[in-house]
């Protein structure tokens, strides 16, 4: 309300003592001449000292501020009273870490000096609203050298970042890594018998599978041996050498595959090394194969002349060397990380309020399949299954209805797959294979993409035994309806979503069931 002219305070009908006990009523009136004696103007009142003490004694105790982010701790009496006797966090304990997603866009996070890679991943899962919380990892990437490695869950991110050069191109990526702890589930896929050394402990009367299982349960690893192509720093020639990986370090033999002490040469201590996978190694380093990895000291600057490049014959051998290196270096800590990741896979469901429970209690699950009418489903698990079946049946009915001949082509469902995490649009065959390799190459990892050679067709890219296979999904019409098939019409699906749902449960013509979708997240 706007008031013109000067204004004055008016206290109506209360004396000074009454004003102290009952408060005052304030009104704004224009300043009138002295001739109007009907109004009593207020004059300054002195507050006795006794009243000040009583007022101070009757003050309510301070309560915690429900919105601490809206006020400054330096100016808020509520926060000042709550921080009495507590030391405020120092600015030196907070560090800014920038993490990049698959879309090359980054997000800056403020973390403490003790924040681990697991802590940062949990923060990113919440901020990026990821649909699942499994198998996310931080990747240390040296783009100019083609080096990358997955940070262990217990590693401190600030310590890792402090070892990078200031003017380098090193950065952190946030993406899936399904193979991080896969060797605990299928150890023999990671430790072939040909690479387990005969000098491993407890080999008498024990098979290789039993030996690996026993050592993994105790946080240990068998001794690994095999031929590797090596290129020393600053050289361009690759040499084939027989290597041994033990708990005491990495060794190479000067005489063939001899493991006698006089023929073994000490290469490096595992405690001071980090191991990286090398991408595009044939182009960058003229490697004999693409299955290259690198051993580099943690304190040294990432330069090509300081790296020891090792090249394996196949992907299984490279995976075995990298896994054994991790086990020898971290031991029992990896098993603790694995158990911790399994115990906290599912997030806790927040408690519902009374109104939400009342609304849900007003609706019950019913079963109308019997002859005597409907019945109320009392079992919660049965009710959940009925809900899922009803949702799938509704989607199938809608897809069939829209695929009838009399329905216009524009109204037919053609984008039901585009919102799924496993659909990657028109990426190429090489790009799809690279995405699967980056996220672990475990059995059952898959994605679906548009075919670049066949119009209106799609391709299912599936990982099996460390290799990527590609299956063409062909659309065809039958009785005026559109379907998709992989086996020349023997098994048909109304859309790609139904095809994926079927192969998540049934193997069909595939060598393995679909299990892990290849996901790309934008930060």
Angle separating helix axes 117-127 and 332-343, nearest 10 degrees: 20
* Cβ-contact 82, 64 below 8 angstroms: yes
The verdict on 39 and 98 lying in the same domain is no
Classify residue 423 by its DSSP letter.
B
Supply the CATH number for residue 447's domain.
Answer: 3.30.505.10
The verdict on 117 and 209 lying in the same domain is no
Q: Which two tokens stand for residue 158?
A: 């600030």
Residue 24 lies in a domain: yes
The verdict on 221 and 171 lying in the same domain is no
- Domain end marker among 270, 297, 321: 321
The verdict on 255 and 162 lying in the same domain is no
Classify residue 441 by its DSSP letter.
-
Whether 306 shows a pLDDT value over 50: the answer reads: yes
Measured distance CA(32)–CA(96) in Å, rounded: 62
User: Is-above-0.85 flag for pTM?
Assistant: no
Residue 193 lies in a domain: no
Measured distance CA(311)–CA(277) in Å, rounded: 10
Whether 453 shows a pLDDT value over 70: the answer reads: yes
The verdict on 38 and 134 lying in the same domain is no
pLDDT range class, residue 114, cuts 50, 70, 90? very high
Supply the CATH number for residue 141's domain.
Answer: 3.10.20.90
Residue 335 lies in a domain: no
Residue 355 lies in a domain: no
Residue 523 lies in a domain: no
| Rg, Å, the chain Cα set | 34
The verdict on 317 and 213 lying in the same domain is yes
- Domain end marker among 265, 292, 321: 321
Rounded mean pLDDT, 307-327: 92
Task: Render pLDDT for 187-234 as a digit per residue (tens, 0 to 9).
Answer: 888 888 889 886 655 555 677 778 888 888 777 888 999 999 998 766
The verdict on 254 and 166 lying in the same domain is no
pLDDT range class, residue 500, cuts 50, 70, 90? very high
Strand 264-268 and strand 273-278: the pairing is: unpaired
Task: Render pLDDT for 251-290 as a digit per residue (tens, 0 to 9).
Answer: 999 988 888 888 999 988 888 889 999 998 999 999 999 9
* 170-174, 389-393, 494-498: range with lowest mean pLDDT: 389-393
The verdict on 273 and 209 lying in the same domain is yes
Long-range contacts of 127-131 (CB under 8 A, 24+ apart): 127/523, 128/101, 128/174, 128/521, 128/522, 128/523, 130/521, 131/421
**pLDDT at 391 (0 to 100):** 55
Q: Which two tokens stand for residue 257?
A: 């595959």
What is the residue range of 246's domain?
199-321
Residue 388 lies in a domain: no
Q: Kindly report the average pLDDT of the chain as a whole number.
A: 76
Residue 425 lies in a domain: yes
Whether 78 shows a pLDDT value over 60: the answer reads: no
**pLDDT at 300 (0 to 100):** 62
Rounded mean pLDDT, 331-348: 78
The verdict on 40 and 151 lying in the same domain is no
Whether 358 shows a pLDDT value over 70: the answer reads: no
Instruction: Provide the domain count of the chain.
Output: 4
**pLDDT at 302 (0 to 100):** 58
Other C-beta atoms lying within 10 Å of the C-beta of residue 323 = 21
* 30-34, 158-162, 249-253: range with lowest mean pLDDT: 30-34
Whether 451 shows a pLDDT value over 90: the answer reads: yes
pLDDT range class, residue 5, cuts 50, 70, 90? very low
**pLDDT at 62 (0 to 100):** 56
Q: Which two tokens stand for residue 139?
A: 């990747």
Other C-beta atoms lying within 10 Å of the C-beta of residue 518 = 25
Supply the CATH number for residue 309's domain.
Answer: 2.30.29.30
Whether 71 shows a pLDDT value over 60: the answer reads: no
DSSP H helix total and E strand total for the chain: 15, 22
C-alpha torsion 348→125→503→499, nearest 10 = 110
pLDDT range class, residue 458, cuts 50, 70, 90? very high
Measured distance CA(100)–CA(174) in Å, rounded: 6
**pLDDT at 353 (0 to 100):** 47
Q: Which two tokens stand for residue 474?
A: 């062909």
Other C-beta atoms lying within 10 Å of the C-beta of residue 236 = 8
Q: Which two tokens stand for residue 453?
A: 């050679």
pLDDT range class, residue 67, cuts 50, 70, 90? low
**pLDDT at 1 (0 to 100):** 44
Rounded mean pLDDT, 318-335: 92
The verdict on 418 and 480 lying in the same domain is yes
**What is the percentage of the chain residues whose pLDDT exceeds 90?**
36
Whether 136 shows a pLDDT value over 80: the answer reads: yes
**pLDDT at 369 (0 to 100):** 65
- Dihedral sign (CA 127, 131, 137, 138): negative
**pLDDT at 49 (0 to 100):** 45
Tell me which of 504 and 203 has the higher pLDDT: 504
Measured distance CA(9)–CA(28) in Å, rounded: 6
Residue 247 lies in a domain: yes
Rounded mean pLDDT, 288-308: 79
The verdict on 315 and 229 lying in the same domain is yes
Task: Render pLDDT for 85-108 as a digit per residue (tens, 0 to 9).
Answer: 444 445 568 889 999 987 778 889
Task: Render pLDDT for 359-404 as a digit per residue (tens, 0 to 9).
Answer: 444 456 666 666 555 677 777 777 777 766 665 665 555 555 555 4
Measured distance CA(169)–CA(146) in Å, rounded: 11
Count of alpha carbons within 13 Å of 87, Cβ hemisphere only?
4
Long-range contacts of 430-439 (CB under 8 A, 24+ apart): 432/459, 432/461, 432/468, 432/470, 432/518, 433/461, 433/468, 435/518, 435/520, 436/461, 436/463, 436/468, 436/518, 437/468, 438/175, 439/175, 439/176, 439/177, 439/178, 439/179, 439/516, 439/518, 439/519
Q: Which two tokens stand for residue 350?
A: 């927040």
* 13-22, 204-213, 231-240: range with lowest mean pLDDT: 13-22
Whether 148 shows a pLDDT value over 90: the answer reads: yes
Longest Cα–Cα distance of the chain, Å, equals 120
Question: First-to-last CA distance in the chain?
Answer: 47
Whether 296 shows a pLDDT value over 80: the answer reads: yes
* Cβ-contact 132, 517 below 8 angstroms: no
* Cβ-contact 263, 252 below 8 angstroms: no
The verdict on 158 and 246 lying in the same domain is no
**pLDDT at 457 (0 to 100):** 94
Strand 516-517 and strand 445-450: the pairing is: parallel
**pLDDT at 387 (0 to 100):** 64
């Amino acid at each position: 309300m706007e008031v013109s002219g000067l204004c004055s305070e008016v206290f109506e009908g209360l004396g000074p003592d009454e004003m102290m006990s009952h408060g005052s009523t304030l009104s704004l009136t224009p300043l009138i001449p002295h001739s109007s004696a009907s109004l009593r103007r207020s004059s300054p009142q002195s507050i006795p000292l006794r009243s000040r003490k009583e007022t101070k004694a009757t003050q309510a105790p301070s309560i915690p501020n429900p919105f601490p982010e809206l006020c400054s701790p330096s100016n808020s009496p509520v926060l000042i009273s709550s921080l009495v006797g507590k030391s405020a966090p120092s600015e030196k304990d907070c560090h800014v870490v920038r993490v990049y997603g698959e879309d090359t866009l980054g997000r800056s996070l403020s973390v403490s000096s003790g924040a681990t890679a697991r802590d940062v991943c949990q923060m990113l899962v919440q901020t990026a609203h990821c649909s699942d919380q499994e198998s996310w990892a931080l990747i240390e990437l040296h783009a100019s050298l083609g080096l990358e490695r997955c940070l262990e869950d217990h590693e401190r991110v600030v310590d890792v970042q402090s070892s990078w050069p200031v003017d380098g191109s090193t950065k952190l990526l946030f993406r899936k890594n399904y193979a991080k702890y896969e060797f605990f589930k299928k150890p023999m896929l990671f430790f072939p018998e040909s690479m387990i050394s005969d000098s491993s402990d407890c080999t008498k009367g024990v098979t290789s599978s039993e030996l690996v299982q026993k050592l993994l349960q105790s946080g240990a690893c068998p001794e690994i041996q095999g031929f590797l192509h090596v290129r020393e720093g600053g050289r361009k020639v690759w040499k084939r050498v027989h290597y041994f990986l033990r708990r005491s370090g990495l060794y190479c033999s000067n005489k063939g595959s001899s493991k006698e002490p006089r023929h073994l040469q000490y290469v490096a201590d595992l405690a001071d090394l980090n191991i990286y996978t090398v991408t595009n190694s044939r182009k960058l380093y003229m490697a004999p194969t693409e299955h290259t990895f690198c051993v580099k000291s943690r304190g040294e600057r990432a330069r090509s002349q300081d790296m020891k490049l090792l090249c394996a014959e196949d992907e299984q051998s490279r995976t075995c060397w990298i896994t054994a290196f991790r086990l020898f270096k971290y031991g029992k800590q990896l098993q603790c990380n694995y158990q911790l990741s399994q115990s906290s896979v599912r997030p806790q469901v927040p408690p519902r309020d009374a109104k939400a429970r009342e609304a849900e209690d007003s609706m019950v699950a019913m079963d109308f399949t019997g002859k005597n009418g409907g019945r109320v489903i009392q079992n919660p698990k049965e009710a959940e299954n009925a809900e899922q079946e009803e949702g799938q049946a509704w989607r199938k009915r809608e897809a069939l209805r829209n695929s009838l001949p009399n329905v216009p082509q524009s109204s037919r469902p053609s984008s039901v797959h585009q919102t799924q995490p496993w659909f990657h649009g028109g990426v190429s065959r090489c790009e799809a294979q690279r995405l699967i390799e980056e996220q672990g190459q475990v059995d059952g990892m898959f994605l679906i993409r548009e075919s670049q050679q066949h119009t209106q067709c799609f391709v299912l890219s599936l990982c099996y035994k460390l290799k990527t296979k590609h299956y063409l999904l062909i659309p065809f019409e039958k009785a005026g309806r559109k379907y998709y098939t992989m086996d020349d019409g023997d098994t048909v699906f109304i859309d790609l979503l139904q095809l994926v749902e079927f192969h998540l449960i049934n193997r069909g013509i595939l060598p393995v069931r679909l299990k892990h979708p290849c996901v790309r997240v934008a930060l």
